[in-house]
A = this chain, B = another copy of it.
Amino acid sequence: MQHSTLKAILKKNGSSLTRTRRLIFDLLDGQDPQSMQVLISRAAGQLDRATIYRTIELFERLGIVHRLNIGWKYKIELSDVFTGHHHHLHCSKCGKILDLPSNPMLETMIDTLATKAEFAPRNHILEIYGLCPACKQAGSK
């Protein structure tokens, strides 16, 4: 959907938008965060494992995607540039991951706190764990 932005980021860093890269981008675009295994199997027959790892590494380095940690695994999602800044709500029961849109006041407070600690904040990740609406309901019977 946003191939022009993608292409621009790549070009700015001396890389180009190849068939491979477009394909991997498309596997991520509009989807929930994806595990490597899923990416690898979705691209089976078209792309090699190593290529996928290398591409994700490149994408991460250029800020196109970032790794979302889940327990001691991780999944890949497009970065804020493509999705808008947001946080995640992880349901401890059903495992679903919901988006929590960013809130200006919260962002400000986080930056303020970091700045007070003499730190120069650039970005941050906030992951909240608990029960999603559905599981919360189910639990309170």
Contacts and interface: CB of A to CB of B under 8 A. Distances in A.
Contact of A120 (B74, B122, B136): B136
Contacts of A71: 67
B124 A125 contact: no
A127 B129 CA distance: 14
A16 interface: no
A106 B113 contact: yes
Contact of A136 (B89, B106, B119, B126): B119
How many copies of this chain?
2
A100 B126 contact: no
Contacts of A98: 117, 119
Contact of A100 (B92, B117, B132): B117
A105 interface: yes
A130 interface: yes
Contact of A72 (B74, B118, B122, B133): B74
